[in-house]
Structure 1
Amino acid sequence: MTTLNGANGTSSSPALKVVIVGAGIGGLSAAIALRKEGHDVHIVEQSAFAHEAGAAIHLAPNANGVLRRLGIFAESFGANTMDKLVEYTFSGEQQRSLDLSESNKQWQHPWHLAHRIDLHNALKAAATNSIGNGSARLQTSSVVTGVDPASGTVTLKDGTHIQGDLIVGADGVHSITRKAVPGGNIRPFGAGKSAFRFLVPRKLAENDAVTQKFVQNDGELVIWYANDRRIVMYPTSNNTYLNFVCIHPDEETEEQSGENWDQAGDLNLLLKVYSNFDPAVLRLLSKAESGSIKIWKLLDMDIIPNLASERLALLGDAAHPFLPHQGQGAGVAIEDAAALAVVLPLGTRPDEVGERLKLYQDIRMERANRIQEHSRLAGRDRSEQVKIDMYGFTNFNFGHDEYDNATQRFREWQWKRMPKSYWRMPIAFGPMPGPRQTHQGIPRDGTQSTFTTASIKFKTSRTVLQNLFPPGRRGWRFKHPGTIAYASFSQTTLNGMHWLGGSGYHHIGLYIHGVEYEKKDGSVVSGSYLPILFESLTDPIVSGREELGMPKLYTSVDIYRRSKSYRVRTGWQGALWGEFHLDNLAEVDPSTDQGAISGEADDGILAYKYIPKSGSQNKGIAAEEHVVWDEFKAATTTPRPRKIYKAGKAKFQIDALNWEELPTLHHIISRLAELPVYEIMGGKVVEGTGVPDVSTAGPIE
């Protein structure tokens, strides 16, 4: 599984070999995005790019957000902003005028009106340049006749086979690659409308007293509506050209219109189709050069059930052809490209491609199909009286960043695949890195971490210690009879902790020795009981409480280590509550002392987990409550004492202070201060390597 590094995963695994069928806007966007991930891309295009289609294109904020991440800034090649929308009836009566210059500020990225050729050239240059990650090759005049998703093979008309780890089908509405996905063997159909499209130099309209009223403002999109036809005009190329899309019933231009974008249209036929429109509009249309007019049928298609199969992924019109009524066809193709690259970061193995493409389909299917449906509704004839929420459509379309969306979906997909990961609040950021796992769920290695443990063992009252057992005390008892018992205050300094970037922290706890717990089945475990463990760092406190159920709280821990002495001072915001002294330290042979806190070979540590249920109505009710058992022999890392020092003299003093001085700890420290010290049994300092991750701690039954 690929690990996360920022937005995407990184790895030393080889780049994928990607074959992209189609070098339109979607295909080239995918080439750039996949190259940025470090992959090697081979683009196959059937045309020679000798006669590229001249028209304008909407680059709404959702599309621009992706393009700008790919290094494509539309304003650099003449795109102008969309600043105003004006709507007229076919007879010339103004119905609506919206100044968009202020409302557009709510979007993270600009809304541009660009020349399609300029955008295509910028994408082509970025996809094929020699700078940056990965590599790319563009092969034109190459007709694809077949695709094998299982082997990742593309077959050309001349018999050439091109094999890759991934095939991207970006070959448009009449896609060959679509036929290779289950359920994809369907044909687009006419939507009942055709469209003329052409460009007119803006100066021609400005210099005409009749038409100059339509071009008074830069960045202004104008629509003239009749019941069953409309004219859409907007500027492009730094407001120097006017782009026209004239949508009408296709039966009126049946003889000229076809399913391709490059069908020649006729000016006289254009004027005839819109003959009952405002004369000023007809005068504006008449400025089109007859040879520049193109006409094509608007095509729609039923939703296909799959956008991917094995090593093949579809994007753009190959996956979901769009009617032009919201200007989102290219934008959704660009979004597809972004999502595809996100789920296929460098380090993706060829055998992982199939499952990643299923995720790509899950990410893209619903949004693409919803925008498709919005476009269908927006194109309905006005006589159909369909209620359309254009503001809702716009917010849905524009208010989306596919890189961020797909990245989060990819993260969540990876998180679900991490076996037995630890999750802690705040969960929006994924599994919590800690002493037992990385953010990717990989176990930590504590074999080289170091520890220094200073402990003072003392004889005290069994009854007072017994009062620190969990309330109820069922199953808890001391191993040996008598009115005395033994406990230790033990302070440990940990260092070289991978999960803390090589640093460490301090902890100090009370360990009650010789304790047994009888389980419900009658079996007994014995070890030291830990009623309280103080630590000097938030991270291990939170992880130990939530993941393990250890009774951890914060305290400051200051260490004074000298050649013959070891002193510990504990406190809370300057209020010192504990002093622990070990003096006259002398090194002893490690083989003569196993280093255990109790001085005996404990089987493990007993503790008690209590997590309160949330809500004021649930005061006093536990969400989780049980005995915790950490058996030492089950640990994956065994501490290895390197040096042991015995103290000639040891002592400790605990000052309960008061509630003002210890507002959150007084109830605990005052109980510790009650412990009678009948005799100091000894003190020692143990230095060593190997710090267990305590992952073996858990419910005892």
Structure 2
Amino acid sequence: MALSNGTEKKTGLTILIVGAGIGGLTAAIALRKQGHHIQIFEQSRFATETGAALHLAPNANGILRRLGLFAEEFGANPIHKFTEYTAGGQLLHTLSFKEDNKRWQHPWYLAHRVELHNALKKAVSSPTPDGKPAIEIKTSSRVERVDTYNATITFSDGTQIRGDLVVGADGVHSISRASLPNCEHIKPFPSGKSAFRFLIPKQQALDDPETAALVLNTGEQSMWFDVNRRIVMYPTSNNRMLNFVLIHPDGESASETIGSDTWDQSANLEKMLKIFSSFSSAILRLLSKVEPQSVRVWKLLDMDALPRFSDNRLVLIGDAAHPFLPHQGQGAAVAIEDAAALAVVLPLETAQSEIADRLELYNEIRYTRATTIQSFSRLVGKDLKPGDKKPSMWEFQNYNFGHDEWDNSTQKLREWTWKRNPSAYWRMPIAFGPMPGPRQTHFGTARNNQRSTFTTASIKFKTSRTILETLFPPMRSGWRFSVLDTVAYATFSLTTLNKLDWLGGSGYNHIGLYIHGVEYTQEEGSVVKGVYLPVLFESLTDPIISGREELGMPKVYSSIDVYRRNTSYRARAGWEGAFWGEFLLKDLEEVLPPSPAKEHLWEEPLLTYKYLPATGPKNKGKAAEEYPVIYDVSMENQFKGTILKTYKAEKASFALDPLDWEQLPTLHHVISRLAEIPVYDIVDAKVVEGEGVPDLAAARPIV
């Protein structure tokens, strides 16, 4: 099984889906897309979606398109207009969506539920273009219970099947739901309303002069309101069929649904017309065109919010998790969103040991949004008393439509991944997560620099202690030389690094001035000693930024060209073609490396000073962060570097030219100071080659 960092073979999870409705099939398609192995179990002989039509709002349609399903290819038509009337036919208001559709990332369609379901079944039952196999829907498979810990399903015949994960997509009367802790008692209950649902061919309405005016506009959804009942009509199937939803107090059609909680019971046409007899004659004439045997009545069920949607290795989606009243047309859309979120948080590299944590993430992503839209739907469907302001379903449109769950969940998964490694380095720009660098990958995994190589040329020289003291942090007390002689020692060290994994196997050059014999005294009196680094020039931006921000190293940019020959080493440093430094080591002769070979180059800890400026005009001259820093290579427990070859130089020299502000606009103030340092004597010059580069992760503030 693959780990989250992708270091093991990616084999995918075995995922068992209970229920082959819209949510279950969408989840199957999305999870297969991620590379998992899917099995679907449906309790009926074959899942059939009835109930006429549904809304494919932009938030759902975008996900289907991402999965390769285009609703316009199976008869869905765009919505262009929304109109509300009184029961008597008086116009209340109208809205056009032809322009609004341009506001949304994906079009808003009206789809036949059966056509959508058939398209999903076809996609599930077919291999994918990239070779992923078809998914079998195992029908007549009634589930009795789910073991959330072992991801085991027990069927009504006593047989069992075990996977890595169970998805409960078994609808409003979900069996899976009862397996969640503290959910056994939470069951759907009547909302007080029922709905008749059916389809009428649009042409029949157009052929009748009394009803034609009600259906003239293409892509129009119409609603007629009475005190405690409403009629909703909109076209589907390429505007050829009219879908009807007639919502009313459930007691008025109770005899139609006695003894059953299913939502598609046959209903009596005459009783339906009587229940809506307060509506205009034109509306009643339109309703009477339905085939009597096609009228179905649906008891609208509601349910208290579950405490959560997942536990261990069971997760609920769609109506199993959050049944919806139909007043915003978001039931199928939110189930599709659930499926997308689940697939995103379970990428191919998901390890079995991570499933429960990832389902907890799914719960965090989906719970608030799903339950909020549930609340909106209840509010929009509430009966109004005289004087009450009617809430508009369009008030919630932006929240519902302006959301892409695949993108949202992808970001939430990133943030979840980042949080799992609290020690990861973060640098600007932080919107993209932890920054990869010499000390970590983007995922916060430590680098191994043991195979990296270095070549370091160093020139140690005697100089003025007083001049070197001017390079200590100005106006910051505590810095001094351990021995107060008038002379002191410093080294220009020039290093070429190569075979760096964090740079894709390449490398860069750097030049540093290291001042020997320096100590820093803390406020409480303790003293740390080491080699002080006032400036480090580097030839590549990435290590400059990472070293300054993460470690506090005093890095600046410079071009550094190195010319290595058999018996000589030459380097030239500059900025945009203006060269400020020449370093030369001549007559190189190989000498035996130390025995045993040194594990590092620094004999003493490295001392420097971190300073990051605060932002804003009022903070000019103020630091957001500043303190002395110490790095001791002996603190790198895992680091083992080796000096392979050492070459002594018979002659060595360096020359610094500060040029002027025009030639060195960003470095003149630095180079002019370095050029002031006198050279009394060259003490030592050598070139060292080795393997293993410390990442300096052990650098820490001196506090």
TM-score of the pair, normalised by structure 1 = 0.95
**2:325 touches 2:378 (CA, 8 Å); kept in 1?**
yes
Compare 375-384 and 114-123 and name the one that shifted more.
Answer: 375-384
Q: SS of the counterpart of 1:254?
A: helix
d(CA) in 2 for partners of 1:498, 1:218: 61
**2:310: which partner in 1?**
308
- 387 and 232 in structure 1: CA distance in 2 versus 1, 3 angstrom threshold: closer
d(CA) in 1 for partners of 2:611, 2:570: 32
**1:633: which partner in 2?**
634
**1:226 touches 1:382 (CA, 8 Å); kept in 2?**
no
**2:41: which partner in 1?**
44
**2:593 touches 2:643 (CA, 8 Å); kept in 1?**
yes
Deviations 1:140-198 (A, max 9, x none): 11211222212222111111112222111111111111111123222211111111111
**2:17 touches 2:167 (CA, 8 Å); kept in 1?**
yes
Tell me how far 1:619 sits from its aligned partner.
Answer: 2.6
Is 1:357 the counterpart of 2:356? The answer is no
Q: Which of 425, 429, 451 in structure 2 is aligned with 1:426?
A: 429
Compare 671-680 and 266-275 and name the one that shifted more.
Answer: 266-275
**2:77: which partner in 1?**
80
Deviations 1:584-618 (A, max 9, x none): 333333338978999xx622211111122333222
**1:342: which partner in 2?**
344
**2:490: which partner in 1?**
487
**2:504: which partner in 1?**
501
Q: SS of the counterpart of 2:644?
A: strand
Is 1:537 the counterpart of 2:554? The answer is no
- 660 and 389 in structure 1: CA distance in 2 versus 1, 3 angstrom threshold: farther
Alignment of 1:137-148 (within 5 A): 137-148=136-147
**1:444: which partner in 2?**
447
Q: Which of 63, 84, 105 in structure 1 is aligned with 2:102?
A: 105
**1:254: which partner in 2?**
254
Is 1:69 the counterpart of 2:66? The answer is yes
- 209 and 398 in structure 1: CA distance in 2 versus 1, 3 angstrom threshold: same
Tell me how far 1:13 sits from its aligned partner.
Answer: 4.7
What one-letter code is carried by the residue in structure 2 that aligns with 1:192? Answer: G
Tell me how far 1:45 sits from its aligned partner.
Answer: 0.7
d(CA) in 2 for partners of 1:325, 1:252: 19
d(CA) in 2 for partners of 1:289, 1:387: 33
**1:229: which partner in 2?**
229
Tell me how far 1:324 sits from its aligned partner.
Answer: 0.3
**1:169: which partner in 2?**
168
**2:14: which partner in 1?**
17
Q: Which of 645, 668, 679 in structure 2 is aligned with 1:677?
A: 679
**2:567: which partner in 1?**
564
d(CA) in 2 for partners of 1:11, 1:273: 64
Tell me how far 1:472 sits from its aligned partner.
Answer: 4.1
**1:380 touches 1:386 (CA, 8 Å); kept in 2?**
no
d(CA) in 2 for partners of 1:82, 1:641: 74
Is 1:459 the counterpart of 2:462? The answer is yes
**1:507 touches 1:534 (CA, 8 Å); kept in 2?**
yes
Is 1:526 the counterpart of 2:529? The answer is yes
**2:53: which partner in 1?**
56
**1:10 touches 1:347 (CA, 8 Å); kept in 2?**
no
**1:456 touches 1:490 (CA, 8 Å); kept in 2?**
yes
d(CA) in 2 for partners of 1:12, 1:568: 46
Q: SS of the counterpart of 2:322?
A: coil
d(CA) in 2 for partners of 1:463, 1:44: 83
List runs of 5+ in structure 1 lacking aligned partners: none
Is 1:369 the counterpart of 2:366? The answer is no
Tell me how far 1:11 sits from its aligned partner.
Answer: 5.4
d(CA) in 2 for partners of 1:89, 1:578: 87
Q: SS of the counterpart of 1:255?
A: helix
List runs of 5+ in structure 2 lacking aligned partners: none
Q: Which of 575, 579, 582 in structure 1 is aligned with 2:582?
A: 579
Q: SS of the counterpart of 2:669?
A: helix
Tell me how far 1:685 sits from its aligned partner.
Answer: 2.1
Tell me how far 1:215 sits from its aligned partner.
Answer: 2.6
- 450 and 16 in structure 1: CA distance in 2 versus 1, 3 angstrom threshold: same
Tell me how far 1:621 sits from its aligned partner.
Answer: 2.6
**1:39 touches 1:135 (CA, 8 Å); kept in 2?**
no
**2:599 touches 2:643 (CA, 8 Å); kept in 1?**
no
d(CA) in 1 for partners of 2:698, 2:628: 13
**2:88: which partner in 1?**
91
Is 1:121 the counterpart of 2:118? The answer is yes
- 86 and 569 in structure 1: CA distance in 2 versus 1, 3 angstrom threshold: same
d(CA) in 2 for partners of 1:669, 1:41: 66
Compare 122-131 and 364-373 and name the one that shifted more.
Answer: 122-131
Q: SS of the counterpart of 2:98?
A: helix
Alignment of 1:256-275 (within 5 A): 256-257=256-257, 259-275=261-277
**1:39 touches 1:133 (CA, 8 Å); kept in 2?**
no
**1:259 touches 1:297 (CA, 8 Å); kept in 2?**
yes
**2:616: which partner in 1?**
615
TM-score of the pair, normalised by structure 2 = 0.94
d(CA) in 2 for partners of 1:300, 1:265: 21
d(CA) in 2 for partners of 1:122, 1:505: 56
- 343 and 605 in structure 1: CA distance in 2 versus 1, 3 angstrom threshold: same
**1:182: which partner in 2?**
181
Is 1:31 the counterpart of 2:28? The answer is yes
Alignment of 1:145-164 (within 5 A): 145-164=144-163
d(CA) in 2 for partners of 1:597, 1:358: 46
Q: SS of the counterpart of 1:531?
A: strand
